[in-house]
Structure 1
Amino acid sequence: MASPKILITGASGYVGGTVLSQFLTSSVTEIQRASLSVLVRKQEQVEKYASQGVTACLLAGLEDTTAVRQLASQFDIIVHNADSTNPAAAEALIYGLSDGAQKRGSGTKPCLIHLSGVSSLGDLTASKPRSVISHEFSDKRDDIYSYMKWRESVRPYSQRTTDLAVIDAGEKANVKTYIIKAPRIYGRGTGLYNKKSVHIPLFINGAILAGRPEYIGDGSGIWDDVHIIDLAVFYELLLGKILKNETVPTGHKPFFFVQSIRHSWRELAEGIAAAGVKNGALKTTETQSIGLSEAASKYLGGDADLTEISCASNSITKADLAHEMGWRSQKTEEDFQKSLLDDFNAAVSI
């Protein structure tokens, strides 16, 4: 693919901004030669990205799927980090890529790299308590697509709905799709705007208000964790292979897990407590269990279903395909604990 045109959505966000930074400083020749553009909502962002040598495409939002599709048709590859719960927007991006490829008569398939998460695989630990570790999903061994199809038929969930829409639309439109299912992400981002993760600052702010960190139920649900830089490095590795026309290993469908260490929600609360005491924002390392409805009211606007699946579920994955591609996490448990203190320092300095 000669001088490919790449569009990055969500570049002002935590993951998208860090991924863009990784691409801009990449040592991969094919990435250096690519034309990078970002999708933005504000005029001042256009000028900011221009100073980095990045073209910014101004669009009111992803809701205008006609405009999204038209914009997507101008690109060869889209790295979609903007919204993992909007199937219509993802489909518009895919069909736009297909439109452009057909118009240009390109013999190379366009590609979409889509950011998702592992909550769509999560089982329930609060409404259905359990103390054992459930299935560890492998992106190489397990048929993630069929499993999610079955889960979706039982109970739809927007993130899972979008994943399935991406795969189905890609096959229909002859567009290669790759879905990165990230776990809990930690660490300071390197983008121009949002540098904070989601889960950990949410619980740190809750701990400051309550005087101690909280977890839901018995806190036994376990999630993997990955540092934002390690995640961005995998994006770089995957994009580099695509641009070099190298074979990218996939399982039954192109899902990729990127995990490093793992913690239960209770262990996360205990880490937050230790960091809070060290920072001085908390007076005790004690943690506290709260009920699902109380947690939903405090943290996610009263949505108990979303709270349970995203803040109390059990979702364990194994990054077999990433490892096969040569990716290895460079961050450790020590880095994770340091990041908790860094997030506390950021929270109390606001």
Structure 2
Amino acid sequence: MDTWKILVIGASGYIGGSVLTALMKSSHPLLRECEFTALVRHEPHADALRHKGINVLMFSGLDDLDIVREVAARHDIVINTASTFHTPVAKSIIDGLGDRKTAAEKQTHLIQTSGTGSLADRPVSKRFVETKVFSDKDNIYDYEKYRESIEPFPQRTTDVTVIEHGESTGVKTYIVMSPTIYGLGSGVINQKSMQIEALIRAARDDKYVSVVGSGESEWSHVHIEDLGLLYELLVTRILGGLDLPSNKHGIYFSETGYETWRAVSEHIARTGKELGILPSQEIRQITLEEGSVKLIQSMGPDIIELGWASRSRTKADRSREIGWKPTKSFGDFLDSFTTLWAEIMKE
């Protein structure tokens, strides 16, 4: 049988680097026989990946759509962990996989990274309130179409496009829709996530911890290592020819617990005080506009509300049904705050 060719886009990032590490270190015999390639845009990142024995191809960035399509057409599986907001690149990947499917007469597959921010509500602005706990066995595609009809959101737009364009081209697609991701990554470039880290960096600078709005809304969470296990499981099931729901039925959640945003800020305040970094466990409520300055300056109030104030509760029922077995506990979640404080203080 021909060697399976797997392309990872976003291998220098937090998720992509950790997923690639999980696949490369896996003891699964089918993965041992695969050829892995990373598509990157920065030469220093390429050198670091080559040093780990990974094939590297260069491109100018996600807007280099012709190259993306051309490279995707040389692979059987593409794992896209780059920007979840970039709909055109996801479409170009599928076009390339469709080209390969036609030329090689072989089924091709896209594993697309997304986030549960696509399901999140807007409790601060009151533009949309959601109380549901979603299962990945629900009809998430129809729900995303409904939410898009109310308010287009780039990540959700990409999800819908991946599903629909995959079906129209005959490419099997799988969307890994993750909640808050915690823990240090295992990639060679970026080992830190975004949501909790942004709150800690702001606390480091302000000497108090912020919470956006009331902080009463809940988000699910998952450790980056458990997330890597889910990607590994999806790939090995594809390689083994095992049943794996795809396209409209191919949305997979990853979660091992949940917490309110106020509780997250309390964990940051407690560990920051214990480490002697913060003078007290003070928590201050901030507005969406203040959050867009303190947390991620390139994002406006709309994204701050979705990422740091909204509700997004999920259950990974389908993922567990196909064999996902996460290993991290709530204790690991709590321990991660001390580790993350220490890492951020090194910056």
TM-score w.r.t. the length of structure 1 is 0.95
Letter in 1 for 2:136: D
Q: Report what 2:10 is aligned to.
A: 10
Is contact 1:183–1:258 with CA below 8 Å preserved after alignment?
yes
Q: Report what 1:160 is aligned to.
A: 156
CA distance in 1, matches of 2:212, 2:127: 11
Q: Report what 1:267 is aligned to.
A: 263
SS at match of 1:349: coil
SS at match of 2:319: helix
Q: CA deviation at 1:251?
A: 9.1
Q: Report what 2:116 is aligned to.
A: 118
Q: How does 1:53-132 map to 2 (within 5 A)?
A: 53-104=53-104, 106=105, 108-128=106-126
Q: Report what 2:188 is aligned to.
A: 192
Q: Report what 2:277 is aligned to.
A: 281
Q: CA deviation at 1:250?
A: 5.8
SS at match of 1:275: helix
Q: Report what 1:39 is aligned to.
A: 39
Q: CA deviation at 1:252?
A: 4.8
Letter in 1 for 2:295: Y
CA distance in 1, matches of 2:277, 2:102: 58
CA distance in 1, matches of 2:47, 2:125: 49
Letter in 1 for 2:30: E
Q: Report what 1:247 is aligned to.
A: 243
CA distance in 1, matches of 2:127, 2:192: 31
Whether 1:217 and 2:218 are equivalent positions in the alignment is: no
Is contact 1:143–1:251 with CA below 8 Å preserved after alignment?
no
- Structure 2 residue ranges without an equivalent (≥5): none
Which whole-Å deviations, capped at 9, do the CAs of 1:279-318 have from their partners, x for residues lacking one?
2111112211112222123223361111101111100000
Q: CA deviation at 1:239?
A: 0.5
TM-score w.r.t. the length of structure 2 is 0.96
Q: Report what 2:231 is aligned to.
A: 235
Q: Report what 1:307 is aligned to.
A: 304
CA distance in 2, matches of 1:263, 1:102: 46
1:318 to 311, 315, 318: 315
Which whole-Å deviations, capped at 9, do the CAs of 1:150-209 have from their partners, x for residues lacking one?
110111000000111111110111100000000000000011010001111100011122
CA distance in 2, matches of 1:226, 1:110: 28
Which whole-Å deviations, capped at 9, do the CAs of 1:206-261 have from their partners, x for residues lacking one?
11222211111110111001000000011101110010000014695210000011
Is contact 2:68–2:96 with CA below 8 Å preserved after alignment?
yes
CA distance in 1, matches of 2:86, 2:127: 30
Is contact 1:249–1:321 with CA below 8 Å preserved after alignment?
no
Letter in 2 for 1:84: T
Letter in 1 for 2:152: P
Deviates further, 87-96 or 319-328: 319-328
Which whole-Å deviations, capped at 9, do the CAs of 1:47-102 have from their partners, x for residues lacking one?
33223221101111110111111111110100000110011000000000111221
Identity in percent: 37
1:341 to 318, 338, 341: 338
Moved over 6 A (4+): none
Letter in 1 for 2:177: K
CA distance in 2, matches of 1:263, 1:46: 37
Count of aligned pairs: 346
Which whole-Å deviations, capped at 9, do the CAs of 1:12-70 have from their partners, x for residues lacking one?
10010000110111111111100000011123333332232211011111101111111
SS at match of 2:3: coil
CA distance in 2, matches of 1:165, 1:289: 37
Letter in 2 for 1:22: A
1:183 to 179, 182, 196: 179
Which whole-Å deviations, capped at 9, do the CAs of 1:118-156 have from their partners, x for residues lacking one?
0010011212299x981000111x111111101101110
Alpha carbons of structure 1 residues 61 and 129: separation in structure 2 relative to 1, 3 Å: closer
- Structure 1 residue ranges without an equivalent (≥5): none
